[in-house]
Structure 1
Amino acid sequence: MTEDKIQAATQKLLMMWESGNLPEAIAHTMIQPKGRPCDKWSLGNRILMLANEALDARGFKQWSDAGRKVKKGKKAFYILGPVTKNITVEDNETGEKITKLLVVAFKAIPVFRLEDTEGAPVPVPNYEPTVLPPLMNVAEAWEIPVRYVPNLGRFYGMYRPMTDEIILCSHDEITFFHELAHAAHHQIRPLKGGQDPFQEIVAETCAAVLCLMYGFEGYVVDARNYVAHYAGMASGNVTKAVMQALSDIEKVMTLILETAVEQELQALSKI
């Protein structure tokens, strides 16, 4: 029964993509920051923070001002801060002297993760959506943490095989479905690093199929463009690329949906 539903939804998706008979697209959204010091950092520094498995990091004095101190033996990681100086230039048109701030170099600045400090409680912004997306119980069953974080500019979400966690910079259901598909695919066979075209086609097709099954059809428009991009890198066109990946797509979908059913049955047994 599950396999029949997967095949029917997949065929419907391919027909929509091929015919161009697509619903009105839903604009993708990004989570906006809520005012912590690190939210003012450059994109590169915020990615460095995420790479160091931190969701809040600050300098020694900033933690002190927040009533916390760095735990003994904890080490900093480093972000880059600009070194600036004021220069005076002459306006070519008016001859007026103007003072400008010029970045002349960058310096390494030590910062510490929240987890490496102790002291007064620090308000932790809650970036989770009011209503969690469907299939969150699948991530819970696999013991995969799902973290919602502010906009990091270059991506809507990621699955990190090394730490087995999902990080989302968007509340869009398709973003969660995409990263959940990566997590399921990793269980079937270890994922390659980077944006592997085959893996991206599998994840986005699964995400689009799940959107159809759960009533979020507006996302399938951009999903087609996403798959087409990676199909161009991989094999030439959307249908051909999906058909080549169909075996893995069906395995990933089956693993996700069968886990969801198991979780629902367990929940019902406890009532």
Structure 2
Amino acid sequence: MRDAKLDELHERLTAAVEQLVTGEDWKRALEFAARFRARSFRNTLLIFAQHEAAFQAGRVPGPVPSYVAGYKQWQALGRNVRGGEPGYRSFAPVTGRFASSTPLDSGSWRRLDRFEKPKPGEVVRSRMVGSKAAYVWDVALTGGVPIPERPTVAPLTGEAPDGLWEGLVALIEAEGFAVRRVPDAAAIEGAYGLTQYRTRTVSVREDLSSAEQAVTLVHELAHVRMHGPDNEDGTRHRGIREVEAESVAVMVAAAHGMEATAPSAAYVSDWAATVTDKSPVDVVQETGEKVRNAAGAILDAISTVQAGTGDPPGLTRNASPPLERAGRALAPVAEPRPASASTARSVRGL
């Protein structure tokens, strides 16, 4: 039964990925993920697709959920799922207990049976060993104790939120890079921003609005952290690198109520197909998870007013088994080519 449910869930996920046709479709998925970034990218895609279907069917009042949680989690918050509501199916981890008397030896760990106790002196740790199907419900599908309104961020056009630029500069400087503003595009090869690994500098045009400068700086920070010559992913296909950096910028911008344009690749299939030994569906999922991890690390490290993570206030993870959170992101295999000495955010990237 579990295998059948997982097969169905993977089919749902594949269908959700295949709906991401254009750059704008990808952007919408990223903006949604920015508001539910506590969950893995594949789970946000599943929730995104199922909630949209519920909205089209008139089961929920709006096209975007506000908070989602599991059945017991809602009960712990004083709310109950309405009768007959099936919920949104998603992945949840299956964990196992492992024991070792020499924990530094990776080959020494053995899995414990369900009721087996460790031997004296053994260290016990839990690991994810698989996935199972689980359900979450939007708050609109529940009733009970009122839940505070979800925090919102006011839409911004030309101005960046307080503290964003300074926070991003601090993160870039912590990586050993200097940030400089340049007069215009002519100073940096016609681009909006430019990261130069040899000189360890990040340049951004000062003739842009403060919001555009901040979004560009996020893009360059993504390059610094994800695509440098010393990074194992730094040699991957340039098209994928640009999509990743632009996508991180979209997520961070969305979390601050700012608008960022869709990644410059017109069709998702174009850049997903550049990884030749994986299916486009797998590449999209893996790229999305890598982007989510990178954007989440940036958002967690800066003190700015941000949209919430999608969890209802007061949620405790002990109320039910946690939904899948991000583990180690799997990156598409790199092409055998050297990393560029610099990366630029092009005009078409905005």
Bigger-Rg structure (1/2): 1
Task: With a CA cutoff of 8 Å and minimum separation of 6, indicate the structure with the bigger relative contact order.
Answer: 2
TM exceeds 0.5?
no
- Taking structure 2 as the reference length, what is the TM-score of the superposition? 0.33
- Taking structure 1 as the reference length, what is the TM-score of the superposition? 0.41
